[in-house]
């Protein structure tokens, strides 16, 4: 392989990535991770419902961690814009029960 091909490869891999563009409104999947408890999914559901009145709570999927210490709540909501998502994520973190929102 020639040096030119190596340089071209390095340039192509080091180019900055552009953030993915989201066309709102859209169905937006999220995963909320927190300490396992009986009411964790209900708390997540209450917060999400305040930000998406059309949210269907029956679509929640709760997954326990291998050792049962954490739970992840997976759901899809109707996102209307970046401001809605930022506010939702902030309110979920403000509950004190959420460790991560992905």
SS (H, E, C) the chain: CCHHHHHHHHHHHHCCCCCCCCCCCEEEEEEEEEECCCCHHHHHHHHHHHHCCCCCHHHCEEEECCCCCEEEEEEEEEECCHHHHHHHHHHHHHCCCEEEEC
Of the CATH numbers 1.20.1250.20, 3.40.50.1970, 3.30.70.260, 3.90.420.10, which one belongs to the domain with range 22-101?
3.30.70.260
Specify the pTM: 0.78
Per-residue pLDDT 10s for the chain (102 aa) are: 555 555 555 555 555 677 768 899 999 999 999 999 999 999 999 999 999 999 999 999 999 999 999 999 999 999 999 999 999 999 999 999 999 999
Please list, in sequence order, all residues whose beta carbon lies within 8 angstroms of the beta carbon of residue 31, skipping any fewer than 6 positions away: 72, 73, 74, 101, 102
């Amino acid at each position: 392989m020639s040096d030119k091909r190596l340089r071209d490869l390095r340039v192509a891999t080091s180019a900055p990535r552009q953030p993915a563009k989201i066309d709102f409104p859209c169905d937006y999947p999220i995963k909320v991770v927190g300490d396992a408890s009986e009411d964790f999914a209900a708390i997540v559901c209450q917060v999400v419902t305040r930000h998406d009145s059309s949210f269907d709570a029956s679509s929640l999927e709760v997954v326990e961690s291998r050792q049962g210490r954490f739970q992840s709540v997976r759901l899809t909501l109707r996102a209307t814009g970046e401001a809605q998502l930022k506010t939702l994520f902030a309110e979920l973190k403000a509950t004190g029960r959420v460790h991560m929102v992905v």
